[in-house]
Structure 1
Amino acid sequence: MTKPATTMINGFDASRLGSLPERERSMIERRQAMLGPSYRLFYEQPLHLVRGQGVWLYDPDGNAYLDAYNNVPSVGHCHPKVVAAIAEQAAILNTHTRYLDEKILDYSAKLLATFPEEIDRVMYCCTGSEAVDLALRMACYYTGGTGIIITENAYHGTTAASAAISPSLGPNMPLGVHVMTVPAPDAYRSEGRDVAEMFAENVSKAIAFMQRRGIRPAAFIADSIFSTDGIFSEPAGFLKRTLEVVHEAGALYIADEVQPGFGRLGSHMWGFMRHDIVPDIAVMGKPMGNGLPIAAAVMKGEIQERFGRDIRYFNTFGANHVSIAAANAVLEIIRDEDLMANAVSTGNDLLNGMRMLQQRFDCIGDVRGAGLFLGLEFVKDRQSREPDGARSLAVVNRLRERRVLISAAGLHGNSLKIRPPLPFGKEHAEIFLTTLEAVLHETN
Structure 2
Amino acid sequence: MSSPATAELLARRERALGASYRLFYEEPFAPVRGEGVWLYDKDNTPYLDAYNNVASIGHCHPAVVAAIAEQSAQLNTHTRYLHPSIVDYAEDLLSEFPEPLDNMTMTCTGSEANDLALRIARCHSGGTGIIVTRWAYHGVTSALAEVSPSLATGLPTASHVRLVDAPDSYRKTGDFVASVKAALQDMQAQGIKPAALLVDSIFSSDGVFSPANGELAAAAQCVRDAGGLYIADEVQPGFGRTGGQRWGFARDNVIPDLVTLGKPMGNGHPVAAVVGRSALFDQFGRQQRYFNTYGGNPVSCRAAHAVLRVLREEDLQTNARQVGDYLKQGLQELAERHPLIGDIRGEGLFIGVELVTDRHTQTPATACAAAIVNGLRRRQVLISATGPKANVLKIRPPLVFAKEHADLLLERLDQTLNDLG
| TM exceeding 0.5 | yes
Report whether the alignment pairs 1:123 with 2:100.
Answer: no
Contact 1:237 1:274 in 2 (8 A): no
Report whether the alignment pairs 1:246 with 2:228.
Answer: no
Structure 1 distance, partners of 2:336, 2:4, is 43
- The structural deviation recorded for 1:231 is 0.2
Report whether the alignment pairs 1:107 with 2:89.
Answer: yes
CA-based RMSD of the aligned residues comes to 1.2
What is the aligned counterpart of 1:382 among 359, 364, 367? 359
The worse-fitting range, judged by mean Cα deviation, of 299-308 and 333-342 is 299-308
- The structural deviation recorded for 1:174 is 4.3
Q: Aligned AA for 2:108?
A: C
- The structural deviation recorded for 1:101 is 1.3
Using a 3 Å threshold, how does the CA distance of structure 1 residues 323 and 366 change in structure 2: closer, same or farther?
same
Q: Aligned AA for 1:133?
A: D
Report whether the alignment pairs 1:157 with 2:134.
Answer: no
User: 1:266 — aligned with what?
Assistant: 243
Give the SS at the match of 1:384: coil
Give the SS at the match of 1:119: coil
Alignment of 1:28-427 (within 5 A): 28-171=10-153, 173-190=155-172, 198-235=175-212, 237-427=214-404
Contact 1:225 1:233 in 2 (8 A): yes
Contact 1:126 1:286 in 2 (8 A): no
Structure 2 distance, partners of 1:303, 1:216, is 18
Give the SS at the match of 2:102: strand
Contact 1:163 1:175 in 2 (8 A): no
- The structural deviation recorded for 1:315 is 0.4
Structure 2 distance, partners of 1:301, 1:91, is 34
Q: Aligned AA for 2:22?
A: R
Structure 2 distance, partners of 1:76, 1:226, is 23
- The structural deviation recorded for 1:172 is 6.2
Give the SS at the match of 2:364: coil
What's the TM-score once normalised by structure 2's chain length? 0.98
Structure 2 distance, partners of 1:115, 1:170, is 34
Contact 1:69 1:405 in 2 (8 A): yes
- The structural deviation recorded for 1:286 is 2.8
Structure 1 distance, partners of 2:286, 2:252, is 32
Q: Deviations over 1:252-310 (max 9, x none)?
A: 00000000000000111111011100001000013111111110001111111110111
- The structural deviation recorded for 1:62 is 0.8
Give the SS at the match of 2:306: helix
Structure 1 distance, partners of 2:89, 2:3, is 47
Q: How many residues align?
A: 421
Q: Aligned AA for 2:258?
A: I
Contact 2:137 2:150 in 1 (8 A): yes
User: 1:5 — aligned with what?
Assistant: none
Structure 1 distance, partners of 2:186, 2:365, is 33
- The structural deviation recorded for 1:25 is 1.8
Structure 2 distance, partners of 1:234, 1:172, is 28
Using a 3 Å threshold, how does the CA distance of structure 1 residues 236 and 443 change in structure 2: closer, same or farther?
farther
Structure 2 distance, partners of 1:310, 1:98, is 19
Structure 1 distance, partners of 2:95, 2:372, is 41
Structure 1 gap segments, 5+ residues each: 1-18
User: 1:16 — aligned with what?
Assistant: none
After TM superposition, what 4+ stretches of structure 1 lie above 4 angstroms from structure 2?
none
Give the SS at the match of 2:358: coil
Structure 2 distance, partners of 1:361, 1:248, is 47
Identity over aligned residues, as a percent?
Answer: 54
Q: Deviations over 1:344-396 (max 9, x none)?
A: 00000111011111111111110001000000000111111111111111110
- The structural deviation recorded for 1:227 is 0.3
Give the SS at the match of 2:389: coil
- The structural deviation recorded for 1:236 is 5.1
Contact 1:127 1:285 in 2 (8 A): yes
Structure 1 distance, partners of 2:372, 2:95, is 41
What's the TM-score once normalised by structure 1's chain length? 0.93
Contact 2:53 2:263 in 1 (8 A): no
Contact 1:68 1:405 in 2 (8 A): yes
Give the SS at the match of 1:229: coil
Give the SS at the match of 1:380: strand
- The structural deviation recorded for 1:245 is 1.2
Give the SS at the match of 2:215: coil
Contact 1:221 1:253 in 2 (8 A): yes
Structure 1 distance, partners of 2:83, 2:263, is 22
Give the SS at the match of 1:421: coil
Structure 2 distance, partners of 1:321, 1:405, is 33
